[in-house]
Amino acid sequence: MQLLRKLLFPFSLLYGAVVHIRNFLYDRNILISKKFDVTTICIGNLSVGGTGKTPMTEFLIELLQPHYKIAVLSRGYRRKSAGFVLANESTTVEELGDEPFQIHQKFKDTTVAVDANRREGIKKLSEQVSPNLILLDDAYQHRKVKPDFSLLLTSFGDLYVDDWYLPTGNLRDSKKAAGRAHVIIVTKCPQGLSEDDQERIKKKLKPKKHQKVLFSYLEYDNMVHGHLHQLEVEELKGRKITLVTGIANPVPLVNHLKNMGLDLDHLAFGDHHFFSEREVETLKKKEIIVTTEKDYVRLGKGIPNLYYLQVKHRFMDDGKQMISEALQEIMKGKS
């Protein structure tokens, strides 16, 4: 695979040129980014998958929901529907896509909608729901909308400054596009990341004067949750565990469970994989299956002994307070 990616280097140059021209047209206002009356917050990255956008969106919901009427707008990647879909009690994971459906199930007081056309989605949400805050999930490259506040995520083990354009690398946008972010968050850090290491990363990222660089790590639940009951992760030791993942980067989860002393048979599928009936029937024969929350909503409730492990972002130092204060300033400016 790595050899193939290197051979495709000329195509990555072409891809990079297209990205550069597109950004140039928006930066010079030849193509127009539209601002909206409703406050919009963008959560995104420069690479394909694996930076923790959904847990960050959930973090923002938990932080802001007590104070604002929130809606989440996503494109609904790999959903089996088209156009604008506003989630309700009968909406399925196939209609929304796995990540929006996960949010819809967890946060009943938050409106969730999907639309590949973010302008149209914001317009319809404003007309039908009237939120005073819209979280734009995975919308960093959607420059038809100019958000009020942008969070750019980059993984500790795969910083965008060390990457290259698709298909040779994983970048889907220019490294210079990082300059549009208000806050850059280095995710999936080791919990004990030293101040010296944080400063080293900041120097690599070279943030602009207006940008803050924050650091976060993943905190895994000590329980796995099933349809009918839950188990402590410690109870899984010594048992035959099948780990099923359909996410961009399962390495942190695999390492966490192995560090917990679990013996795993890992079945890795592509990101956002929709499981076939044959695959589901095979999984039903497993003793205990542990999966991610995103995979759980796609696998459904028909598999015995299927459990998911929740994960949350936790900020180092005073990162949470800095995010909270910055968002409060944005909301004041829009009121």
Q: Is 47 annotated as a binding residue?
A: yes
Q: Is 282 annotated as a binding residue?
A: no
Q: Is 52 annotated as a binding residue?
A: yes
Q: Is 270 annotated as a binding residue?
A: no
Q: Phi and psi of 133, rounded to 5°? A: -155, 125
Distance CA(4)–CA(262), nearest Å, equals 34
Q: Is 302 annotated as a binding residue?
A: no
Sole residue written with tokens 């850059």 = 184
Distance CA(69)–CA(118), nearest Å, equals 19
Q: Could you tell me which of 299, 304, 290 has the C-alpha nearest to residue 225?
A: 290
CB contact set of 246 (below 8 Å; sequence gap of 6+): 268, 269, 270, 271, 272, 273, 275, 292, 294, 295, 298
Q: Is 50 annotated as a binding residue?
A: yes
Q: Is 150 annotated as a binding residue?
A: no
Q: Is 238 annotated as a binding residue?
A: no
Three-state SS string over 24-83 comes to: HHHHCCCCCCECCCCEEEEEEECECCCCCHHHHHHHHHHHHCCCCCEEEEECCCCCCCCC
- SS3 of 247, please? coil
Binding site for ATP: residue ranges? Answer: 47-54
Q: Which residues are annotated as a binding site?
A: 47-54
